[in-house]
Structure 1
Amino acid sequence: MKQIYAAALALLLFCVTAVSALADAPSVKIQPLLAEHQTVIAKSSRKTIGPAIDAIASSGLPQAQQVLEVWAAKNMWMRKSDGFFFIGEKVEGKTYRLTDFDNGAVVGEFQKGDLKQLKPNSGIRAMIATALVQFQLSDPDSAARADALQSIARDPSADQLAPLRNSISGEADPALKAQKLRLERLLTIRFGASDAERIGAISDMAGDLGVDLRASLNPVLTTVREAATEIPAANIAAQLIPDEGISREDAYALLVAAGLAAPVTQAGDIRAALAQHIDGGRVAGIPVAQLSDPAQRTRAYAMLATQGLVPPLVGEVEMTRAINDHVFYDRYLDPSAPVTEAAAKALKDIELKVSFNQALDLGLDALSLASIYFLAAIGLAITFGVMGVINMAHGEFIMMGAYTGYVVQQFVPDHTLSIIVATPLAFAVTFAAGVAMERLVIRHLYSRPLETLLATFGISIALQQLAKNIFGTQARPLTAPGWLDGAWVMNDVVSISYIRIAIFVLALIFLCVFLFIMKRTRLGLDTRAVTQNPAMAAQMGINPGRVNMLTFGLGSGIAGIAGVAIGLFAKVTSELGSDYIVQSFMTVVVGGVGNIWGTLAGAAMIGFLQKGIEWMNPSNTLAAQTYMIIFIIIFIQFRPRGIIALKGRAAGD
């Protein structure tokens, strides 16, 4: 009895397994479809393979995607005995294991001689990839769907539009759905079924500055230049008038290319033809000795042409007659005039907005550069503009601040915290260095500008060499915090990095701090007093030496903080400061010596001027700097006291 129950249970399990297997197996097999196109698939010719790929892709069978993927991967094999197709897997040697597409079962192992491997070339693989798009757009894996969208955007075609539209409603990922909707509009512009549909898509994308939109509109407006006896009933972009819209030579070349005129007879052709028809020392009855005359050569050639011995003579007269008898025009490749008109208008509007945004982007770049120059020059505005000390080592204080930030990051791995620590530390280091320099060198050289320049220049060289000895000549990284990575992207044209924005904000903060120190603190009041009249300030109980020391230290300390900011995007090397010292002096001098607002104006002027010159001559930045210096020299000739001249008693010093 137990044996009967066991047998019945085994039979029941077998039936359940069999039913499950039958349920999992496709009800419709793809093998008959492959057999129907067996000859074309086996031949693998790009010219004839299209219908077979389309039939597989549009079959609606669940096996279709696997067949196309296996085929593209060169893993599809045909069994020569019956022409059936399988998935091939090498076992060993020349033995291959074949798996059925329909049920996934292994059908056996076969020798390579009994099989034919399908090796589609790059053209056929591209066609298969296009056919696979409809499956990939609905793939459960979002990465596969994203790859499919990139593939369509990279190589759009009309047959991709329908599967793309079908996949939109079922897309669950909001970002991918937005990409699909945008891509559908772009494809509709080029491949829509009706003019109204295409014009509607153009209208929907109005105002968009995306490069992909312009890439979709440009093919719609592609033209071909043609010649004919009369203007055809086609979508004509423009009629061309010889010697106005088109040169005579180009116009006649169009006639020759279209078979509407014979090529102009060249002098070399005439000489070669005459040489071939010399008979008894004559050519067409004209003695050879007379053929040195161009008119006689032309006459002899014309006589040969009337006899049918050479092609007809085509000269200026024939060329003019042919040009006058024909019309020349640019024809849109797209046959729809309403669509090309809408596309032309949209592209014109886009180009206008792009030009405006390019100007805005250039302005933001100039503003960013101006803020960098202001940061580099604000310390010099104190030491040079207020104290009148020509400090050629100012750039090295910027370099010292950048290296301070680098050293701090070696001990504080958190980049945000390291910048917070490095900023006051850089001020302290360069403040101390500035005080030491003022006490040891500068105080002995006041009112002796040439000696000050030479002394500070020597200190500059010494500090650069010291930095090389300590840190080497290789650039050191000063890494910005992660939240400063990337850029603020307003559209496809305008963007500005977060580091540049942070430097701009820092420049504004420095401006406010400097104004507060000079207007609201005892040091600022003492500095202004000493600047206006040192002797009277001393009589009022102010120590000019101490004020000069602190002021010089303040300017040096600000240069150190500027070095930390500049080091976040520039290479930190011993030459870092020398890259900014010239611009710093120009900023202070052009803006107006002794005036912080003048320094700000000078930085803005130099930043915008340099960016403007670079925009006009983008391939040569050295020339841009040269033109900028020439302009500044001319500017100083007309306004020697700068943009904002210093007023009061100090203005005459």
Structure 2
Amino acid sequence: MFRIIFASVALLCLTTSLFAQARDLQAVLQDNRSAVESASRKTIDPLLDALLESALPEVPVFLERWREKDVWQRKSDGRFFFIRKGAGADLTLVDLSTGAEVGQAASSDLNQLKPNSGVRGVIGAALVQFQLSDPDPARRLDALAAIERDPQASHLAALRRAINAEPDAPLLARKSRLERLLTIRFDPDPAARVAAIESFHGDLAIDVRAALNPILATRLQGAVSLPDGANIARQIKPGSVALPDDAAYTLLVAGQLVPPLVTAADQKAVLIANIKEGQVAGVPVADLGTQDARDAAYIRLAVNGTVPPLVTKTRKQDILGQHVFFETYAEPVPAVTNAATAALRSIDTIVGLNRAADLALDGLSLASIYFLAAIGLAITFGVMGVINMAHGEFIMMGAYTGYVVQQFIPNYTVSILVALPLAFAVTFAAGVAMERLVIRHLYNRPLETLLATFGISIALQQLAKNIFGTQARPLTSPAWLDGAWVLNDIVSISYIRIAIFVLALMFLSLLLFILKRTRLGLEVRAVTQNPRMAASMGINPDKINMLTFGLGSGIAGIAGVAIGLFAKVTSELGSDYIVQSFMTVVVGGVGNIWATLAGASLIGFLQKGIEFMNPSNTLAAQTYMIVFIIVFIQFRPKGIIALKGRAAGD
């Protein structure tokens, strides 16, 4: 009995000693001493595997300090230490595991380990695996970002271990997603890869497509027959658009399946080189004046084995018919490629829908801009019948008003809130002055009105150049308008565009209220429908025209502030929008707010649609849009919503 107890205790001590030795970092390093002493990218992997298998908590610290060249080796026994410099000439040795001081040594008795840049990169990749389970969430997040930048097969197992112990929900979701992406690329089990691929159905993220597209990469090949076990994507017939005959034959030559083609120049050189006693393979040189004769002489040489065989066009077609051409996937497992194809097909469907939604948002944004720019023109044109070519310059005046306000009010939010009513006031006054001084004398004379307002437009542009110069002036938006509202990797819209859309809705509501619920609106509608009858009812058409022109000009000024937040504020700013404003009014129908909204929507969506079809040529988009509007007017000369009264020509 005593012997049994003694043997058990001895065995337990021996096991504990061996376990402690296996758990010692110094022992692991000594077992791989040569890999530490002369580390390279080729020799470091076994060492890192041993360190990872040890699961020692001090391994990350060692790897970090080794990467920073802060590990030393004692020459006498080859043991490794950290160094702490003391007051004297000798260096203090620090134990790798405990961090305790274990003695001193002269610098001449130590070798500093200096891994090269390649080894330091490998060490950094290994450290990522330890950082995935670091107590600090910021370090775990940095580790995930590092894996996303440079994923490796070794990261997959570490990610799976770290997922089970992750307490933070957002980090857990990110780790799980990254684990599935790495499974697609590196997991040897096809079933696991298929499951990971299927989990990404409909996912619009770019990293998913980046993981799936390489699976469906193909290589064009030619062979006598289809190879057994190959994952074939499709067969291709030679002579088609995808594979012309020459390309197909070149592919066979590259695979050393057929002899190369002999060009006419090569054939001539071979015949000259084989002239003997005035003949080539028994054919007199004088008889080689035709291509058929040269071919016959070359074929004789080929039969004798002197030159490579000649492949004629007929022979070439026969050879192509005896071979098959096909594309094979780089991925050998059909189940994986089928899953990737299905996933990408579902993603493409949702991408198409989201692109349509993004295009609709762009069209809606552009329509709101055109609505703001054109609503003032629609009011003046509809009520007064005046073609105001200077309307764009009122937009420009509003933008410059916003710029001037920001020179005195540095707070961009406050400055915009001040600039909007001030721009309305400035352009309202300018519009009233223009109507009183010029327009009122030119009623019912459309040609003279057009020429006069065009001259005023040029004069206002030159005045702006004289005051502000020719360079663009900044109209800065508030910080809360920076950036964009991003729904996913495809659909997004800038906050400035959203603000302009909201502003357009506000003006739509305000103008509807003025025209439908106020006395001014009633009088404006009366003058629009029948000015003579309105005058007989005690309404002063002259005053209404003046206020209407001022109101339209004031709205253009507010539009200028909004447009200036994302466009260049120059003297030509209004010129960029005057054509679209007139098209909006004409297409929608004059003198009606809803007509202007309809016209702005039609032109905005039409322009964005044409630009989507032809993104490389915006000038062509403008041309196509104008052609469409010309055709549209042929069928709807009074616009989408026709107005009765003077504006309609009654």
Contact kept? 1:210, 1:492, Cα under 8 Å: yes
Q: 1:219 aligns with which of 208, 214, 217?
A: 214
Shift of 1:617: 1.4
CA distance in 2, matches of 1:311, 1:299: 14
The 5-angstrom pairing of residues 66-145 of structure 1 reads: 66-70=61-65, 72=67, 101=96, 110=107, 117-121=114-118, 124-145=119-140
Alignment partner for residue 392 of structure 1, among 381, 389, 393?
Answer: 389
How far is the alpha carbon of 1:472 from its aligned partner?
A: 3.3
Residue 460 in structure 1 maps to residue 457 in structure 2: yes
**Residue 126 of structure 1, CA deviation:** 4.5
- Specify the code of the residue in structure 1 equivalent to 2:475: L
Quick check: 2:21–2:27 contact (8 Å CA) kept in 1?
Answer: no
* AA matched with 2:535: A
How much has 1:268 moved relative to structure 2?
A: 2.6
Bigger mean CA deviation after superposition, 154-163 or 606-615:
154-163
CA separation of 1:370/1:88 partners in 2, compared to 1, >3 Å: closer, same or farther? Answer: farther
Counterparts in 2 of 1:267 and 1:30: CA distance versus 1, 3 Å: farther
Report the CA distance between 1:435 and its aligned residue. Answer: 1.2
Do the aligned residues in 2 keep the contact of 1:223 with 1:333 (CA within 8 Å)? Answer: yes
Counterpart amino acid of residue 170 in structure 1? A
Q: 2:402, 2:416 within 8 Å by CA — same for their partners in 1?
A: yes
User: Quick one: distance in 2 between partners of 1:610 and 1:592?
Assistant: 19
Q: 1:296 to 1:58 in 2, by over 3 A?
A: farther
Relative to 1, partners in 2 of residues 1:115 and 1:156: Cα closer, same or farther, differing over 3 Å?
closer
Correspondence for 1:195 among 164, 180, 190? 190
Which residue of the partner structure matches residue 181 of structure 2? 186
Mapped to 2, the partners of 1:109 and 1:645 lie a distance apart of 99
Gaps of 5+ in 1: 1-24
Corresponding residue SS for 2:609 = helix
Equivalent-residue separation in structure 2 for 1:71 and 1:324 (angstroms) = 63
Does residue 1:525 correspond to 2:507, yes or no? no
Question: Could you tell me how far 1:375 is from its partner in structure 2?
Answer: 0.5
- Confirm or deny that 1:621 pairs with 2:615: no
Amino acid of the structure 2 residue aligned with 1:509: M
Task: Choose 79-88 or 222-231, whichever is displaced more.
Answer: 79-88
Given the alignment of the two structures, is residue 421 of structure 1 paired with residue 413 of structure 2, yes or no?
no
Partner residue of 2:236 out of 232, 240, 265: 240
What displacement does 1:228 show?
Answer: 2.9
**Superposition map of 1:145-160 within 5 A:** 145-160=140-155
TM-score after normalising by structure 1:
0.87
Given candidates 374, 379, 383, the residue that maps to 1:377 is: 374
Q: SS at the partner of 1:292?
A: coil
The question of whether the paired residues in 2 share the 8 Å contact of 1:489 and 1:495 is answered with yes
Q: 1:618 to 1:568 in 2, by over 3 A?
A: same
- 293 and 643 in structure 1: CA distance in 2 versus 1, 3 angstrom threshold: same
Mapping of residues 193-592 of structure 1, within 5 Å: 193-231=188-226, 232-244=228-240, 246-592=243-589
Partner of 1:6: none
Is 1:166 paired with 2:161?
Answer: yes
Superposition deviation, residue 608 in structure 1: 1.1
Question: Could you list the per-position Cα deviations for residues 165-198 of structure 1 after superposition, in whole angstroms to 9, with x for gaps in the alignment?
Answer: 2112333333322211211122222333423322
- Contact 1:80–1:115 under 8 Å retained in 2: no
Partner AA of 1:269 in structure 2: D
- Counterparts in 2 of 1:538 and 1:647: CA distance versus 1, 3 Å: closer
Gaps of 5+ in 2: 1-19
- Aligned-partner Cα distance in 2 for 1:291–1:38: 77
- How far apart are residue 367 of structure 1 and its match? 0.9
Q: Deviations over 1:249-281 (max 9, x none)?
A: 333333222222222222232222223322223
- Which segment drifts farther, 72-81 or 565-574? 72-81
- Give CA deviations for 1:557-590 in whole Å, capped at 9, x if unaligned: 1111212222222222222222211111111111
Give the Cα separation in 1 of the matches to 2:67 and 2:443: 81
- Report deviation, 1:603: 0.6
Per-residue deviation, 1:43: 5.5
Question: How far off is 1:366 after superposition?
Answer: 0.6
| Equivalent residues of 2:132, 2:159 under 8 A apart | yes
For residue 100 of structure 1, report the CA deviation from its aligned partner: 6.9
Separation in structure 2 between the aligned mates of residue 538 and residue 501 of structure 1, nearest angstrom? 42
Partners of 2:278 and 2:285 within 8 A in 1: yes
Name the CA distance, whole Å, in 1 between partners of 2:355 and 2:345: 15
CA separation in 1, counterparts of 2:270 and 2:170?
71
Query: For residue 422 of structure 2, what is the amino acid of its counterpart?
Result: L
Secondary structure of 2:326's counterpart equals: strand
The 8 Å contact of residues 362 and 608 in structure 2, kept in 1 or not, is answered as yes
Matched, 1:597 2:594: yes
- The farther-off stretch of 479-488 and 25-34 is 25-34
Distance 1:199 1:43 in 2: 42
Shift of 1:423: 2.0
Kindly, what percent of the aligned residue pairs are identical?
65
Structure 2 distance, partners of 1:613, 1:349, is: 26
State the number of aligned residues: 624
Is the CA contact 2:75–2:109 (under 8 Å) kept in the aligned structure 1? no
Report how far residue 352 of structure 1 moved: 1.2
Give, in whole Å, the separation in 2 of the partners of 1:89 and 1:445.
94
CA-atom RMSD in angstroms: 3.1
CA distance in 2, matches of 1:202, 1:241: 32
Tell whether the 8 Å contact from 1:209 to 1:350 is kept in structure 2 after alignment.
yes
Amino acid at match of 1:233: G
8 Å Cα contact 1:221-1:334 kept in structure 2: yes
Q: State the Cα distance separating 1:384 from its structure 2 match.
A: 1.8
- The aligned amino acid for 1:295 is D
Normalised TM-score (structure 2): 0.87
Kindly state the Cα deviation for residue 39 of structure 1 after the two structures are TM-superposed. 4.5
Distance in 1, Cα, partners of 2:44 & 2:289 = 63
